[in-house]
Amino acid sequence: MNIDFQDNTNKVAAADIDLLERLLQFAAERENVPSEAEVSVNFVTNEEIREINKNYRQKDTPTDVISFAMQESVDGEMEIIGEDLPVTLGDIIISIDKTIEQAEEYNHSFQRELGFLSVHGLLHLLGYDHMEKDEEKVMFTKQEEILGEFGLER
C-alpha cells in the first residue's frame, strides 16, 4: 500500500511516521488490502480539524480523526473504468493536538494514541463503522487485535 504522509503541524517526528508506515502496512496486509492501494494521512491542528468537522459533519468542535473514503459509491455517480488505476482508499486526517491530549488522558504514549487513530481511520476507509453497537464491537475488537499483534499496546 502506498501511504502519503503530510504533517501540517511539524510536530510529528520521522520515527513516528516510520512507526505508522509499518503499522498501517501491517493492518493493510491483515485486511487483504491490495498492494497498489493508496491512502493519505494528514496531521493537522485542532483548529484545522474543527473547520473540517464543521464543514463536512456540521459539528463545530475539534475531533481526533476524520476519514474520507474514496471507495464509497454515491447514487448518480459516474463509474470510472480502468484496469490499471490504483485503488485510492481515501484520506485520514488526524489532529495532533487531540492525539497529545488523549494520550495524556488515557495514560499511554503519544505513539500508541497516534497508532490507534491511524488504524481507526484506515478501518473506516475499509468500510468499518461504529454507529451501531454490533458494528462498534467488531471495529473496536479489530483495532485492538491489530495494535496488539503489532505490539503497540496500552
% residues pLDDT > 70 (the chain) = 90
* Residue span of the structural domain in which 94 resides: 2-71+84-150
130 has binding-site annotation: yes
> Which tens digit of pLDDT belongs to each residue from 32-57?
999 999 999 999 999 999 999 999 99
108 has binding-site annotation: no
Number of domains the chain is built from? 1
- Residue 79 domain-assigned? no
Among candidate residues 35, 15, 14, the one with its CA nearest the CA of residue 25:
35
- Residue 78 domain-assigned? no
- Residue 42 domain-assigned? yes
> Which tens digit of pLDDT belongs to each residue from 76-113?
444 444 455 568 999 999 999 999 999 999 999 999 99
Residue type, 13: A
CATH number at residue 40: 3.40.390.30
pTM of the full structure? 0.90
Contact status, residue 66 vs residue 97, Cβ threshold 8 Å: no
Which cell numbers hold the place of 111?
A: 505513539
- Residue 50 domain-assigned? yes
- Residue 135 domain-assigned? yes
124 has binding-site annotation: yes
